[in-house]
Structure formats: C-alpha cells, structure tokens
A and B are shown apart, each in its own frame.
Chain A
Amino acid sequence: MLDLTDLSSGYGETQVLHGLSLKAEPGRVLAILGRNGAGKSTTLKTIMGLLPARGGSVSFGGKKLTGLAPFDIARLGIAYVPETRDIFRSLTVRENLDLAARRFPCPPGGWTVDRVVDLFPRLGERMDNGGDQLSGGEAQMLAIARGLLMNPRLLILDEPTEGLAPIIVKLIHAKLAELKGDGLSMVLVEQNFGFATSLADDVVIVSRGTIVWQGSTEAIRSDVEAQHRWLGV
C-alpha cells in the first residue's frame, strides 16, 4: 500500500537518503531497522512531506504523495507518531485528542475518544492535564491515541520505545500487538531489535540512506551475520 521508489532526501546541504526503495503491505507491520543516522527517521519525514523528496517517489494506495503538503498526506490516511511525540504543550490531553478526532470522520467501529481511553486508561485520568504535564510514557500513549483518532489506513511510528521505562515499553508493545491483531497496517522504526521483531511481519534494514537487507522477521532473527553487520546486535 505504501511504495517508496528510489527515494532521495535530506536536510539542507546534507543528503541522507540515497535511492531508498521499500514497500509496506496492507494489514502487515513493516519494521525499518538500522543504526543511528542510517536514515530511518528521514524516511518517515519524507513520507509525511515534512522533508521534500529530491528524487524518486512515494505513493500510497496508488496515489502519488511526493510534492503533497503534510496535511494532504494526513487526510489521505497516514497517521504519524514522531520520535519526539510532539504533544501540543498548550493544549490539554482532551484538546490534543479532540484536535485529531474532529478533523477525521469516524467510520462505523472506528476509533473514538472513548475507545482510545479504553485502550490507554491512563489517558482518561489525565484528560484535563496540560500537554506539558505528562510523563514520557503518557506522552507516547497520547501520541499513539491521537494518531488512531485519525482513523488512519496506515500508522507510522518513529521509535515508540525510546526513553521509556521497561514496564511502559511492555505496555506499548501489548497495545501495538492488539492493533496489529485488529489488522491495522503499520510502519515501525525501531532501535530495539527485540521489540521490533516481535511485532513486525516484514523487516528492512537501512544503512547510509539505502536498503541493505529485506526479508521476513523469521529470516532476520536467524540471520546472525546480517544482525551483526548492519545492526550491531
């Protein structure tokens, strides 16, 4: 459903992606792995239109995304949970959720504010707190909840476990596994190899802005050499 073809992108003078190609299939979870600075976050930002593609293309469900503004891409059904979570600090938790909920129609059986609070009960206790009063774990739950309220066709997550306590990582893992069970398509960027491979169906490894390995989760688990060479596991 998401196709990146020969994509080049970067920041200012620095080119980070050099002809990167990958595919994410509907109803599956794709993990993008790789060392720090390999170009994983850059890939996600280019998909969202936050960084302009300098070459190649991104298409989603057959529609070309390259050149579209981030709000158009969001409306086409991609929800983005950034590495920095980017909770709006001057909005309450409820306002953060409403902002997403009111912009996107909710299909029958889709995500509502009540349903995301059922998924993350902690958020229910924090509804009237400011966005600047949350712990790292709560901010991550809110960022995921906000993405779900867009009722996206594809959820992309950038390092959802970064900086979180092990118990919260476990909780986020359980919730993402639940979403996967519901058939939500996801693209997951992760440093945490165990976390990523226990959720993903497909794996690609990025190094120096290009894909150097791709295959199934089982294949990367058994390919110790590739793990060692590209991930330093």
Chain B
Amino acid sequence: MTADLGFWVLQMLNALQLSMLLFLLSVGLTVIFGLMHFVNLAHGSLYAFGAYVAASLAGVLGYWGGFFLAPLAVAAMGAALYFTLIRSQRRAGPMAQVLITFGLIFVAVDATRLVWGDLPIGIAVPAVFEGQLSLLGVEYPIYRLFIITLGLAVLGVLTLILSRTQIGAMIRAGVDNDQMAACLGINVERMFFLVFVVGCALAGLAGAVAAPVLSVTPDMGLQILIPTLIVIVIGGLGSLKGAVAGSLIFGFVQTFGAVLLPTLSSVLIYALLAAVLVARPQGLLPAKG
C-alpha cells in the first residue's frame, strides 16, 4: 500500500485538510495569547458554536448562508464574552483566566445540548463542491479541497495584513512588547479586542467549514481544544508562522501516524509535543527571539 503514489497523495491531502482546519483555530488563539498573554480555553467552544450556527442556518438559507453568517455570529459572541468576562479578567493572571474559560467550556457544552439536543447534526456539502475530483490518480472530495484552499487563502491574507500593513506592524509590535507599544500611543487594549473578535470569527469559520465533514456534536469544541493547544505550543505561542508550522506538523503526524503506525498513532503527537517542550520550550518558531 505504501508503494502506491495514490496512497501518499490521498493521505497528504487528508493531512493538509486537517492542518488547515487546525490553522484557522490556532491562529486566533495564538495571536490573542501573544498580544495579551490571555489564555482562552473556550476557543474550541466558539468553533462548536460556529458549526451549530452554520448547521442551523444551512437548513434555512442554504450552506452559504451559514458559511458567511456563522463567523459573524461567533464574532458577536466573542465580543459579548469580551465585555462580560474577559475584559475584567485581563489582569487577573493566568489561573483566573484558565478557570473562567475552562468553566465556559462546560457552560457551552450544556447550552448547546439545551438548544440543539444531544444528537449529531449533519449538514450537506454545498452543490458546487459536490462530488470528487481526480487528482494524480486519486478521487478526492472537492469539498475537502475547498477547505484546503480556504485555509491557504486565509493564511495568505493574514500574512499580508501582518507583514505589509500598519495595523499588522502594530500587532507585531504589541506581541513583541505591549508596554512599549502603548508608550508609542497605541491603544493596545482596543487592538486586543479587534484581534480577539477576528480570532473568534476565524474559529466560527472553521466550525462552519468543518460541519459538513465532521458530525456536529455538543462536545466537538472540547475535542478540538487539545489539538489546537498542542499546535500553538509546538509552533510557539504568539507566532503566526508557529501556528502554520504547528498545524502542518500536527496534521501530518496525526494523519500519517494513523495509517503507518496505527498502534502508536495516539501517542505519537504527544511524544512529539514532549520532545519539543524538552528541546525548545518556547516552541519551534516563537514570536519573541
């Protein structure tokens, strides 16, 4: 099986698809952390919320209604969280932040159960992306290729914004040294709010695009949390490049581990995480030098 080119192509695409999904989630979380040292464990719950909103709207407005409105709904939810819980905890230290956002996860899980019930919800792939595409001898679902393309497009746009625009320079300056950025007249708190809301929107987008390929369940946010945290720890907290590298590493190790070393697959990524923590505790591509 491993001598077959088709096998490699197929697994490569699977790995990329998982990587891109993780990237959409981890990029917001890592920049939020880098900018404000704020740990938001409920980030995965926002992803689940996005998936549910997309699934509900898909029934009324079709897939694209959910695709465009879910990120907005999650951004609005993020803004509400910011004003109610997060802003007041900004200087409360990591322990309070972890406890509050960890508690939020359980609130979110039960709230989704109350609203949407326990049963997994399915959502259909949009008509344009139905079917398979033949790629190097492999039949691959077009929708999954769309996820990969979308992830790459978001990566491209974010890279451009961060490296070429004034707001990007302000964000990088804030990640480097938020106090000095403030001394140059930058309202770091407002910038944090903006980044936080955009990060939430991206988590919502990830939920919306994942909904047709994964089943939408109340605990999906909890399930994605650990992989997302592993991604940002491997990549380096606060760094966009780190989020990209961490997502790719996680996606490929997880996917290829499952087919090549099935007995070890569940341990592999944790072993890698441990190795990274021992050799480079600041992550592979940390934001600060």
- A residues bordering B, Cβ < 8 Å? 48, 50, 69-71, 73-75, 80, 82, 86, 88-91, 95, 98-100, 102-104, 131-132, 146, 150
Give Cα A69–Cα B191 distance, bound, in whole angstroms.
Answer: 14
Cβ A103 vs Cβ B185 within 8 A: yes
The residue from A69, A73, A82, A90 contacting B180, defined by CB atoms under 8 A apart = A82
Task: Closest A residue to B177 by CB, please name it.
Answer: A86
Contact yes or no, A70 B183, CB < 8 A: yes
Q: Is the CB of B182 within 8 A of A70?
A: yes
Closest chain B CB from A9 CB (angstroms): 15
Interface centre among B177, B183, B187, by most chain A C-beta atoms within 10 angstroms, is B183
Q: Is B173 an interface residue (CB 8 A)?
A: yes
Assuming A50-B179, A98-B166, A132-B289, is B172 touching A90 (CB within 8 A)? yes
What residues on B are CB-neighbors of A50 within 8 Å? Answer: 179, 182-183
Can you pick out 10 interface pairs between chain A and chain B where the beta carbons lie within 8 Å of each other? A50-B179, A69-B189, A71-B188, A82-B183, A86-B179, A86-B180, A88-B172, A90-B287, A99-B170, A132-B289
Apart from A89-B289, A90-B175, A98-B166: 9 A-B pairs, beta carbons within 8 A: A48-B183, A50-B179, A50-B183, A86-B177, A88-B172, A90-B289, A91-B176, A95-B169, A150-B184
Contact indicator per residue, chain B 174-203, by CB within 8 Å of chain A (1) or not (0):
011101111111111100000000000000
Q: Which residues of B contact A98 (CB under 8 A)?
A: 166, 169
> Residue on B with the closest CB to A70?
B182
Given known contacts A88-B172, A88-B173, A89-B288, A99 and B184 CB-to-CB distance under 8 angstroms? yes
- CB of B181, distance to nearest CB on chain A (Å): 8
State whether A88 touches B177 (Cβ < 8 A). Answer: yes
Q: Once bound together, how far apart are the Cα atoms of A69 and B187, in whole Å?
A: 9
A69 surroundings in chain B (CB, below 8 A): 182, 187, 189
Secondary structure dominating the interface of B? helix
Given A90-B175, A102-B166, are A71 and B186 neighbors across the interface (CB < 8 Å)? yes
Q: Give the CA-CA distance A99 to B173 in the complex, in Å.
A: 9
Alpha-carbon separation in the docked complex, A217 to B91 (Å)? 42
Q: Smallest CB–CB gap between A194 and chain B, Å? A: 28
- In Å, the complex CA distance between A80 and B289 comes to 23
A100 lies within 8 A of B175 (CB): no
Instruction: Give Cα distance in the complex from A88 to B168, angstroms.
Output: 13
Q: Do A74 and B184 touch across chains, with their CB atoms under 8 A apart? A: yes
Question: Which residues of the other chain, A, contact B169 by a CB distance below 8 angstroms?
Answer: 91, 95, 98-99
Count A-B contacts at CB 8 Å: 70
Complex CA distance for A50 and B181, rounded to whole angstroms: 11
A96 vs B56: C-alpha distance in the bound complex, in angstroms? 46
Q: How far is the CA of A102 from the CA of B179 in the complex (A)?
A: 18
Q: Mark B141-184, 1 if CB is under 8 A from A, else 0.
A: 00000000000000000000000001001101101110111111
Q: Are B172 and A91 in contact (CB under 8 A)?
A: yes
Residues of chain B within 8 A (CB-CB) of A48 are 183
Q: Which of B172, B176, B185 contacts A71 (CB 8 A)?
A: B185
Q: How far is the CA of A50 from the CA of B185 in the complex (A)?
A: 13
Question: Shortest Cβ distance from B88 into chain A, in angstroms?
Answer: 16
Chain B CB within 10 Å, residue with most, of A70, A90, A91 = A90
**Cβ-closest chain B residue relative to A131:** B176
User: Given A91-B169, A91-B172, A74–B180 Cβ distance below 8 Å?
Assistant: no
Interface centre among B170, B173, B177, B189 (most CB of A within 10 A): B173
**Chain B: minimal CB distance from A21 (Å):** 23
- Name the CB-closest residue of B to A95: B169
Q: Tell me the bound Cα distance from A80 to B177 in angstroms.
A: 14
Contacts of A131 in B (CB 8 A): 176
- A90 CA / B162 CA spacing, docked (Å): 11
Distance between A38 CB and nearest chain B CB, rounded to angstroms: 22
Our pick among A89, A90, A100, A132 for the contact of B184 (Cβ within 8 Å) is A100
Smallest CB gap from B170: residue in A: A99
Nearest CB on A from B112, distance (A): 38
The CA-CA distance from A73 to B186 in the complex, in Å, is 11
A75 touches B185 (CB 8 A): yes
Known contacts A89-B176, A99-B169, A99-B173; is A71 also within 8 Å of B182 by CB? Answer: yes
Contact A74 B170 (CB under 8 A): no
Chain A nearest CB from B243 CB (Å) reads 15
**In whole angstroms, how far apart are the Cα atoms of A80 and B182 in the complex?**
11
From residue B200, how far is it (CB to closest CB) to chain A in Å? 24
Chain B residues with CB under 8 A of A88: 172-173, 176-177, 180-181
Question: Would you list the 7 A-B pairs with minimal beta carbon distance, nearest first?
Answer: A70-B182, A86-B180, A74-B185, A88-B176, A88-B173, A103-B185, A90-B172
- CA–CA, A225 and B179, complex, Å: 39
- Given contact pairs A99-B170, A132-B289, A146 touches B184 in the complex (Cβ within 8 A): yes
A86 to B169, CA, bound (A): 15
Given contacts A89-B288, A90-B287, contact A74 B182 (CB under 8 A): yes
